[in-house]
Each structure stands twice: as C-alpha cells, then as structure tokens.
Amino acid sequence: MRCSEAGRQLQLYIDDRLSLQEVTALEAHLTGCIDCQEELFLLEEAVGYVRTFRMVAEPEDLTERIMQRVAITQQRRMPDFSLLRPTFAELLVVVLLATITTLGVILAQPSVRAVLPFANGHDAVSLFFLNSLHQLLSYGVSAVILALWVIGALLGVFITLVLVGEDVRSEWFKAMMDRLPVR
C-alpha cells in the first residue's frame, strides 16, 4: 500500500468504514510507516477535539417563542383531491369539449386523417369541416391559424375549469375579475 492510498483509508478507518481485510492491510502499512502513523495520530487528535465541543443551550424562551408563532400560523393544507370529483354534468361537458379538441387535432393532420375510417375527407362531417376551413383560409392564412390556436387554448382552459369544480372555478373567476384593469 502506498501512502497516498493510505491517506484516504485512514479517514474511512476513523469512521469504521473499512472491511476487516482493508483494516489488516492498512495496519500492516502503518506498522512500517511513521508518516502515516503521525497522520492518523493527528486526525484522531483533531476528531477528539471536535468531540470535546459541547452542546450549547438554546435560549430559555425558545419553545415559547416558537409556539407563539405557531399559534398564529396556519398549517398548509394538502390539496384535497376528493373535492375535485366532478359532477356528472361536468364530466359530460369535459368529454364533449375534449372530443371537439381531439377531432380538431385529427382533422388538421392529413396523415392521421387518411388512416381513419371517418374524417377522411369523404364523409359529411369532415367535408363540412374542410370546406369551412378552406373558406376561412381564403381570408388570410396566419390569422386563421392564430384563431385556431386561440380556440384550442380556450378549449384547454375550459376543460380544466370544468374539471376543477365549482369552488376553484369561482375563485379563479374572482381572481380574474380582480386583475381586470377596468371594472
């Protein structure tokens, strides 16, 4: 064993983290190496001094001061997911909105559209949708795309709002109203 190697082993030795084999090897090295013996001695001395550090007494009124603050502080309640259970009507609305969103996504992707038995451009629904889309696109491509993005985002917001339930919905609505610059 080299001294550089022994240095790290000594640290583990102090913490009782060496295997019996490692201890034997280290002790064999120590018997022949004055430098490492000295190093171990100093390390143990340092640790001994750290151990002579004694616990400091906390201020006598610490508990009282903590409890005074505790008394006026609310615990953070964990979100109660049972409150998020949507009613049947809310669920229906969510399913409807989600269906519309998904249909929109499907119809906007020609490759997806092609493999589906419906909405492939030949049935009434997709023909109506595609016709309206072309009609809209003729007014200006970027404006229509922007409008579709906005609609998609709104659908997402509506789905979330329906799902979270009445309490959160009214809270959100109030917060939105508070933030409006003009009332």
* 67 in contact with other proteins (CB under 8 A): yes
Task: List own/partner pairs for 96-99 with CB under 8 A and 24 or more apart.
Answer: 97/155, 97/158, 97/159, 97/162, 98/159
| CB 59 to other proteins: min, Å | 5
84 vs 143 by CB, closer to other proteins? 84
The structure tokens listed for 139 are 């007014």
Please select the residue that binds other proteins; options are 17, 85, 134, 174, rule is CB under 8 A: 17
* 178 in contact with other proteins (CB under 8 A): no
What contacts 38, CB < 8 A, 6 or more positions away? none
CA distances from 164 to 101, 171, 178 (A): 19, 11, 20
- 181, burial (CB in 10 Å: exposed 0-12, middle 13-18, buried 19+): exposed
* 174 in contact with other proteins (CB under 8 A): no
* 34 in contact with other proteins (CB under 8 A): no
Please select the residue that binds other proteins; options are 2, 4, 19, 77, rule is CB under 8 A: 77
* 63 in contact with other proteins (CB under 8 A): yes
Query: Footprint of other proteins on this chain (CB under 8 A)?
Result: 8, 11, 14-15, 17, 39, 42-43, 45-47, 49-60, 62-63, 65-67, 69-71, 73-78
